[in-house]
Structure 1
């Protein structure tokens, strides 16, 4: 809905700003007036947060105890006559989450945040299913989709750095019903991932030690995740900075070592070249083999959208988010495409070690297999340690993503208000608590039925990322359409997607094609006949989403709508840059400065 303050601002006539002696549209004047109080209130809350972080001079125990008290949130200035959707947008804009993430945090989260077991271990399953050519094609197509999606998300997150980010965009630009489905879908994904990653970490340790019970290791890793999240977003940012740095260095190091091994420089010698592309071949199981790789490739990029979710907790999203968004191109090209090309020439797709039934068996990692086959003695353990760090990184991200999602659910009235509890350190305590509570499922690692249980848990969230990315692209399309409907242009946006609205159309199309491909291989698996168990293990997410949609439709039947009309979409609430005249002047100065710089500098700023 458009806030009522905006509805009178549709006239084309102009007024005069006496200080700048420039013509100002009624919309721009209204925007500045409407958000003056909001900005003052928001800034005062930030100052209050900083004073709480610095301490009050009391004992450390008193400060620690007080830090868990609820951050005061003033909702008195939210007009009760506004619609539920408008009130939700204002609450998301006024979130008391702490703005502690810095540029270096976002840079490393963007570059290495999504590098995890999907790349290090899952790529082995993909290689076995489709062959090296299918591996590159599928990851390349998903990479293009991710590039488009992250740029669309970057444009929205820089313009609206609100709590919940793309989770609230679904409700604002598509419909509250769809937003309800996507928010619960995303939170469920991270709730499930945490115990899975903790079990994965305990299994990774088996590479060195098989005598100690997995319960001991999951306890150690669980307590480590708890400790990191006691420090709130600052703890998450610092931990991910270190984790991502290690992962990036490991991938770069592997690429260098892989080239040396392929050229015959390993202890076992022997030039390989492209031998494995000829024998056993570039493809396995033809087109259906390629289709099976898509979901594995998508899971490898899970967490890429986390940069947008962190927008509300970034000190200056207008300066840091665009750069972090552009880093995705380099991650796709260097860390995925190059490393997977190396894997394809070092490990044949018919290697029996790739056929492990466990998605976290490090012995099935093509990165480890390639180094072991080369005869290098120390590097397999080093790579295994990197995989362990990657697993813990994903577990840490799971708590961050889940807790912010649950807080957003409360802001949008999709969950009880208590889930929106945010303490004086900016921590969404109930969200963190719920995530850690589900994390206790990691103790199923000592059960003989763990593979069956976790297999079905993973099926619940198997396609979650595909729906999340498709919804981000569609939200971007709807935002651009609403902006055009109101007679406004992208000149007022601090950052615009290099792919534009047509890129987002392509992003939606690619997501739909992946869902179709997955439906095909789920119903008719390779070397198998159709069966219900296989279908639901690969397509259960869709069934769950339909259930969420029906629940919301029945629960809010009086407010239910398939989609919002363009005249109902609010394109202003939540902006930090509320003076559109000043913003346009700043952007014009930045473009003029960039145009005055040498060509190589302009190319660098375009990509970085």
Structure 2
């Protein structure tokens, strides 16, 4: 280790194995959005309405992942989104995307440790919730401080728990549909009751796009891990190629089973967007099948999911701050690494922000609400940045006379993929709360959309200060050989 605390070259270590990357890609898209909020999607849009929304959102996420895979295998770096936006579009966009993503996950860690306390209250309601939140934060900080392999192993096993739960759920659900469990045949009759299979038309499907979009957020973590993967040219494409089938299996089939067993008119589904584990659609299906301990089992799984989300959030935000430092967008101190390859200053800074956000949830609920609102759309904004970066990367690659065979991984159906992602991201962002505009409710508009002007302020503020311009395609640096610290040179252009 040198005098600055680096491990010899100031770089994070490539400690993630292929199985870690694969499971992180899978675990990133399985969370409380599927375990708890999926029921509200069915109640809003009906069985086929929810399936339609999840299918199109899943297709968008798949194309987004292939776009990310093409760039990540060409230039595998830790905290890649800001770097790709800076290299392929505009340094100002890299600055805005990076700080946007870091802020999003730093706030999400605080939200998740608060949620972990709510989940623990299911078993131990008399213990103060802040104690459970403090324990969760210490556990997450410890895992991220040890090594990237410790993070990878933890995520592997927590993701495996979620995967096994869904597989068991699908098996129990199918047996229940055919009457083998639960005592009577259900079939597809819930697909045709009242207004089913479609309820509420396109506006309802659009509202479910929002729910589905939040459910899928986290899949882009595989791009963050590329810089610490032992073999990114192999592990990243493998993980991404598996995402499509996993989305079909773990989302489409899950929504189908829930919709078949529980009618969209069920009052339990209407409340399933809350943290009440007793009305999780998974719990309801297990109870229909006659499993008495369903609530406790699902509570344990959801606790695992929440801890996994916070763990991933701490990792993602730390690596993004590290990347911002090496790109010249954040103080150099955050780019220092310890002997084990962990960017400890970035980890401490992220922990402090998460802790302050959590404290505000106790001392100042209004401040906490605004912080959470400010991070609400940042995931979709990050996806927008990935899509436009890939579109520009591929166009620059061809314009500069390169053969696509030179790429280690090819994104599917270019340019359809990134264009579809751009359109759906804009649609979801605009469709967050259209009724607020209809009623000119400026408070709701600000709470819902505050992350959009924040990103615009970051983008144009940096642009005006550094006088950056959108990089012409013929001058875009598509070389895979440049390390991420070279990105700071873009600030001088």
Q: Give me the TM-score of the superposition, normalised by structure 2.
A: 0.92
Going from structure 1 to structure 2, the CA distance change for 1:414 and 1:382 (only over 3 Å counts) comes to: same
Which residue number in structure 1 is paired with residue 226 of structure 2?
311
SS in structure 1 at match of 2:307: helix
Which residue number in structure 1 is paired with residue 450 of structure 2?
540
Going from structure 1 to structure 2, the CA distance change for 1:543 and 1:363 (only over 3 Å counts) comes to: farther
8 Å contact from structure 1 (residues 99, 314) kept in 2: yes
Q: Structure 2: how far apart are the matches of 1:313 and 1:164?
A: 10
Higher relative contact order (CA 8 A, sep 6+): 2
Q: Which runs of 5+ in 2 are unaligned?
A: 484-493
8 Å contact from structure 1 (residues 70, 424) kept in 2: yes
Question: Alignment partner for residue 414 of structure 1, among 322, 326, 329?
Answer: 329
8 Å contact from structure 1 (residues 553, 560) kept in 2: yes
Deviation of 1:503 (Å):
2.2
8 Å contact from structure 1 (residues 196, 454) kept in 2: no
Q: Structure 2: how far apart are the matches of 1:249 and 1:438?
A: 34
Which residue number in structure 2 is paired with residue 238 of structure 1?
153
8 Å contact from structure 2 (residues 210, 431) kept in 1: no
Q: Structure 1: how far apart are the matches of 2:327 and 2:154?
A: 30
8 Å contact from structure 2 (residues 38, 272) kept in 1: no
Q: How does 1:114-513 map to 2 (within 5 A)?
A: 114-267=29-182, 269-280=183-194, 281-356=196-271, 359-441=274-356, 443-444=358-359, 447=362, 450=365, 453-513=367-427
Deviates more, 1:135-144 or 1:514-523: 514-523
Going from structure 1 to structure 2, the CA distance change for 1:420 and 1:256 (only over 3 Å counts) comes to: same
Deviation of 1:421 (Å):
1.8
Q: Structure 1: how far apart are the matches of 2:443 and 2:167?
A: 40
8 Å contact from structure 1 (residues 189, 461) kept in 2: yes
Which residue number in structure 2 is paired with residue 516 of structure 1?
430
Which residue number in structure 2 is paired with residue 6 of structure 1?
none
Which residue number in structure 1 is paired with residue 18 of structure 2?
103
8 Å contact from structure 1 (residues 180, 552) kept in 2: yes
1:560 aligns with 2:468: yes
1:71 aligns with 2:4: no
SS in structure 1 at match of 2:218: coil
Deviation of 1:297 (Å):
0.7
Q: CA-to-partner distance for each residue in 1:413-469, whole Å, 9 max, x for gaps?
A: 21211121222211111221122112324754984964x554433321222222212
SS in structure 2 at match of 1:500: coil
Going from structure 1 to structure 2, the CA distance change for 1:341 and 1:359 (only over 3 Å counts) comes to: same
Deviation of 1:518 (Å):
3.1
Q: Structure 2: how far apart are the matches of 1:160 and 1:445?
A: 39
Going from structure 1 to structure 2, the CA distance change for 1:155 and 1:355 (only over 3 Å counts) comes to: same
Going from structure 1 to structure 2, the CA distance change for 1:184 and 1:446 (only over 3 Å counts) comes to: closer
Q: Give me the TM-score of the superposition, normalised by structure 1.
A: 0.75
8 Å contact from structure 1 (residues 70, 422) kept in 2: yes
SS in structure 2 at match of 1:185: helix
8 Å contact from structure 2 (residues 172, 289) kept in 1: no
Q: Structure 2: how far apart are the matches of 1:358 and 1:216?
A: 25
Q: Which runs of 5+ in 1 are unaligned?
A: 1-51, 53-65, 74-94, 577-608
Q: Structure 1: how far apart are the matches of 2:272 and 2:25?
A: 31
SS in structure 1 at match of 2:432: helix
Question: Alignment partner for residue 460 of structure 2, among 544, 547, 550?
Answer: 550
Q: CA-to-partner distance for each residue in 1:247-289, whole Å, 9 max, x for gaps?
A: 111111101111112222334x232222322234333433222
Task: Count how many residue pairs are aligned between Structure 1 and Structure 2.
Answer: 482
Going from structure 1 to structure 2, the CA distance change for 1:230 and 1:96 (only over 3 Å counts) comes to: same
